[in-house]
């Protein structure tokens, strides 16, 4: 009976502490950071963000969740299963529109923007021995296009449509995460991989140090056919071992996204700490060098979280 009574005392104490207001709620703060596969760029940046939030937000407990990236992350946010997530701009746009083909059951109305961060480069890499040098050379060859309905796979569909190609033109299509795609190429079981990520992504660096590669161009005229939010960019020579020339490709902006159930103060702190700790983020991955508060609102396809809006108003970035 004593044990039974003690449980009620503990429960009553917890209820009382919750009733005391927001200060006590702080102790229960939980921030789940939704990322992507562990061999991509989202994951190391997410780990760094998690550490920054754990140290900078009083009473916060943080967790990093590896996922299939953009589409899964946005659906999880809508379900209240995450507080902040990485996602590609076109995926965020499709989510807000409720594009079923892109993997969204309906309009995701709880999504709220935190910041535009860095561009994802569409990087198509083939083993040199495959003979693939252009998009047209992919016909009859095997290619991994990322996890099904992931942000990467949505990028692959857009690139193929602009180039007048279909998946049916390929010899084989694989729907695999970055690291698994690379392992198959190393084992001569796959010709090429399309990866949408920041420059210098670990998986392609690993591949390029293992065997000779060709980085396949996406011509500017094809990128222009797709239009916003795609832009034409260059993968600078030397980004990967054996890459001796600049290679034209497409890029899509990445965003940090939250959801409407996240308290305004938490979203404010998440935004502020992001920009106050860019050195720590850059140490975790070079892609973070491109994160700039002056560009944080560029192309934002969803409403800002009020907490993020407060930060940008403080900095004079919005009126």
Please give the structure tokens belonging to residue 204. 């392609």
Confidence at residue 227, expressed as pLDDT on a 0 to 100 scale: 85
Spatial separation of the C-alpha atoms in residues 185 and 199, rounded to whole Å: 20
Predicted pLDDT at 28? 65
3 state DSSP class of 86 = strand
- Asked whether residue 13 is assigned to any structural domain, the reply reads no
Q: How many domains are contained in the chain?
A: 2
Residue 165 included in any domain? yes
3-class DSSP assignment, residue 128: helix
**Residue-level pLDDT at 22:** 39
Last residue of a domain, one of 215, 237, 252: 252
Tell whether 22 is covered by a domain.
Answer: no
Please give the pLDDT value at position 13.
36
Q: What is the pTM of this model?
A: 0.79
Do 136 and 248 reside in the same domain of the chain? yes
The dihedrals phi and psi of 14, each to the nearest 5 degrees, come to -65, -45
Is residue 112 located within the same domain as residue 124?
Answer: no
Decide if 69 contacts 150 (C-beta within 8 A).
Answer: yes
* Residue 291 structural domain: 30-117+254-314
Question: Are 87 and 172 contained in the same domain?
Answer: no
154 within a domain of the structure (yes/no): yes
- Asked whether residue 76 falls in the same domain as residue 99, the answer is yes
Same domain, 268 and 160: no
- How confident is the model at residue 39, as a pLDDT? 85
Alpha-carbon gap, residue 192 to 27, rounded angstroms: 48
Distance CA 306, CA 113 (A): 9
Question: pLDDT at position 171, please?
Answer: 98
For residue 8, being part of any structural domain is answered with no
Same domain, 222 and 281: no
Residue that is last in its domain, among 222, 252, 282 = 252
Q: Looking at the structure, do residues 126 and 247 belong to the same domain, yes or no?
A: yes
Q: Which residue's entry shows tokens 């939030």? A: 53
User: Among positive and negative, which fits the CA dihedral 217, 220, 223, 228?
Assistant: positive
Last-in-domain residue among 230, 252, 274: 252
Q: What is the CATH number of the domain that holds 145?
A: 3.40.190.10
What tokens appear for 56 in the block? 């900078």
One domain for residues 126 and 234: yes
Task: Note whether 60 and 142 are same-domain residues.
Answer: no
Q: Is residue 4 part of a domain?
A: no
- CA 191 to CA 171: how far, in whole Å? 10
Q: Are residues 138 and 210 in the same domain?
A: yes
Residue 17 lies in a domain: no
Q: What angle do CA 250, 179, 79 make, to 5 degrees?
A: 75
d(CA 123, CA 145): 11
* Tokens describing residue 24: 């006590």
Q: Beta-carbon neighbour count of residue 192 at 10 Å? A: 24
Regarding whether 99 and 44 lie in a shared domain, the answer is yes
- Give the chain's largest Cα–Cα span: 77
pLDDT in tens, 199-242: 999 999 999 999 999 999 999 999 999 988 898 999 999 999 99
Specify whether 63 is located in the same domain as 165: no
Dist. CA 110–CA 243, nearest whole Å:
43
Report yes or no on 279 lying in a domain. yes
> Which residues of the chain carry a pLDDT beneath 50?
1-26
CA–CA gap between residue 172 and residue 51 (Å, rounded): 41
Terminal-to-terminal C-alpha distance of the chain: 61
The values of phi and psi at residue 64, to 5°, are -110, 130
């Amino acid at each position: 009976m004593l044990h039974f009574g003690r449980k009620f005392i503990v429960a009553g104490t917890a209820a009382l502490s919750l009733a005391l207001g927001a200060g006590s709620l702080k102790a229960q703060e939980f921030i789940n950071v939704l990322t992507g596969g562990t061999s991509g760029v989202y994951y190391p940046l997410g780990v760094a963000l998690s550490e920054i939030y754990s140290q900078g937000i009083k009473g916060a407990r943080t967790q990093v969740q590896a996922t299939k990236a953009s589409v899964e992350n946005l659906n999880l946010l809508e379900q209240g299963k995450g507080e902040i997530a990485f996602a590609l701009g076109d995926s965020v746009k499709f989510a807000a529109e409720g594009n079923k083909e892109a993997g969204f059951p309906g309009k995701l109305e709880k999504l709220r923007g935190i910041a535009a961060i860095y561009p994802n480069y569409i990087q198509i890499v083939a083993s040199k021995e495959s003979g693939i040098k252009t998009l047209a050379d992919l016909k009859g060859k095997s290619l991994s296009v990322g996890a099904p309905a992931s942000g990467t796979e949505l990028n692959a569909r857009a690139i193929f449509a602009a180039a007048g190609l279909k998946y049916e033109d390929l010899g084989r299509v694989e729907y695999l995460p970055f690291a698994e795609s690379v392992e198959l190429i190393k084992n001569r079981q796959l010709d090429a991989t399309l990866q949408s990520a920041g420059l210098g992504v670990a998986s392609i660096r690993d591949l390029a140090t293992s065997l000779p590669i060709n980085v396949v161009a996406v011509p500017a005229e094809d990128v222009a056919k797709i239009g916003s939010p795609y832009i034409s960019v260059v993968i600078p020579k030397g980004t990967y071992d054996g890459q001796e020339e600049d290679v034209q490709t497409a890029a899509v902006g990445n965003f940090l996204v939250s959801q409407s159930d996240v308290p305004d103060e938490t979203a404010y702190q998440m935004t502020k700490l992001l920009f106050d700790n860019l050195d720590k983020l850059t140490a975790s991955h070079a892609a973070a060098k491109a994160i700039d508060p002056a560009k944080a609102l560029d192309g934002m396809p969803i409403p800002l979280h009020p907490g993020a809006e407060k930060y940008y108003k403080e900095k004079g970035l919005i009126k």
